[in-house]
Amino acid sequence: MKFSSAAILALAAVAVAQDSSTETTKTKTKTKDASTKTKTSSGSETAAAAAASSTGTTGSGSGSRKGNSTATTTTASGSKKTATTTQAEATASASGTAGTVTVNGADGLFGPGMGNVVTIAGLGIAFTLFINITWHDGLTRQERSQARGQKGYTIWFTGLSASGKSTVATALEQHLLHLGLAAYRLDGDNVRFGLNKDLGFSEKDRNENIRRIAEVAKLFADSSTVAITSFISPYRADRQLARELHAQTTQAGNDALDFIEVYVDIPIEVAEQRDPKGLYKKARAGEIKEFTGISAPYEAPLEPEITIRTHQNTVEECVAQIVEYLQGKGLLPAASQ
């Protein structure tokens, strides 16, 4: 397994901090018998044991470089032990046999101001994070496609609420099934009853909503299924992320998965006139916060593969337009065309 330079440097810093923590624990054990006991007013005894800690500070002066750090350990006897690490600043505190190791990113490792980035409880967990996760190769996408007689790809519908995304997507799914293709539609409302039921409609939650669906659609497409998604997906950056996730699926010599963005382009006035769920009315009344097109933005695609206008064309005409595109790109088996 290949490690990034940042991962290797972070792991090295953890190892230095763990070693420092171990040495401090040994010192604490050796000096335990020499600790001073003091009688309290209630008659109880308190032991003032030697405290051991190691603190990393970024090196400075003519002999240091930006990104280096120095860890200094002060033992109970007052002596000091100094260890220098590169690109990371490590601090460790020992409590019995369990240590907590904090890797603080220096400028050269994680970027400016990114201190206290990673906290790892014990060196074993660090190894788990960096070593025990492995990508397992299996069948190639070509093998699955040949066995199923079709290619997998994602058709991503985006547009305002009430633009007709789900209506056209459902009709397209039905048409592809009639052609003998495996297709499945992921609907923006439906997934919030299960997979994404923990998400709201803030910008952060919308981002996570689209990220999860993009990953799921990618898995469907990788299985040689036509994944059809109908989501408002209002932000260009989120849709670009979905596209890039498909473009990065080139392991084991596979071609990248096709990602087809379908922009359902209608004026907001038309969407508001339709308003089948009464959502625009509620948004105008202030009952729904952060509603796309009213109190939250919709960023229209700049270069979608397909643009359909449901206020100008019928559902059947929109489906035919999409199928024509798929045929032109060789994404439909010859027998089904």
Span 301-308, average pLDDT: 97
Quick check: 272 pLDDT over 70? Answer: yes
Q: pTM of the prediction?
A: 0.61
DSSP-assigned letters across all residues of 78-108 = S-EEEEEEESEEEEEEEETTEEEEEEEEPHH
**Strands 226-230 and 183-187: what pairing?**
parallel
**Where do the structural domains in the chain lie, given as residue ranges?**
5-31+51-131, 141-331
pLDDT (tens digit per residue) in 188-229: 888 889 989 999 888 899 899 999 999 999 999 999 999 999
Higher pLDDT, 161 or 250: 161
Q: How many C-alpha atoms does 74 have within 13 Å on its Cβ side?
A: 5
Q: Domain 141-331, CATH 3.40.50.12280 — does that match?
A: no
pLDDT (tens digit per residue) in 84-137: 444 444 333 333 344 443 444 444 444 444 444 444 444 455 455 556 777 667
CA distance 268 to 254: 41
Quick check: 305 pLDDT over 80? Answer: yes
Nearest alpha carbon to residue 207 among 170, 239, 185: 239
pLDDT, position 128: 55
CA distance 275 to 294: 13
- Whole-number average pLDDT of the chain: 74
pLDDT, position 257: 94
Quick check: 276 pLDDT over 50? Answer: yes
pLDDT, position 121: 47
Which residues are annotated as catalytic? 233
